[in-house]
Structure 1
């Protein structure tokens, strides 16, 4: 089985945000959560995957890092 990029979800105090997702993206999140749950042995809520995925995406986006550095804010936010 391939190794997923997303690891276990940290238990962190959430900030509520309401968004609309395309149905196809929700299906992909649900499938990802199911696979992650099988790998980790813990169930995963598809909604709780959004934040860690965005954090990982932003952390690995070289174009964003360069642009942020150019703006003078080189320190990544947690």
Structure 2
């Protein structure tokens, strides 16, 4: 597992006061958030649904 992901989990744990036992569990929510906030993807997806 990447050291950046471990560091990210440590910072997040400090900020939230919650211990995260497995930093890999952050990956899915991070990808979901990235997809939800990727404007280019949102536009392209909307364009595809408008055509279908």
TM-score by length of 2: 0.83
Q: Displacement, 1:42?
A: 1.3
- 5+ residue gaps, structure 1, are 1-22, 74-78
1:40 matched to 2:16? The reply is yes
Q: 1:51 aligns with which of 28, 32, 35?
A: 28
Q: Displacement, 1:37?
A: 0.7
Q: Give 1:64's aligned residue.
A: 41
Question: How well do the aligned residues superpose, as a CA RMSD in angstroms?
Answer: 1.4
Q: Displacement, 1:34?
A: 0.4
- 5+ residue gaps, structure 2, are none
Measure the CA separation in 1 of the matches of 2:23 and 2:7: 8
User: How many residues end up aligned between the 2 structures?
Assistant: 49
Q: Give 1:11's aligned residue.
A: none
Q: By percentage of residues, which structure has more helix?
A: 2
TM-score by length of 1: 0.58
Return structure 1 stretches of 4+ with deviation > 4 angstroms: none
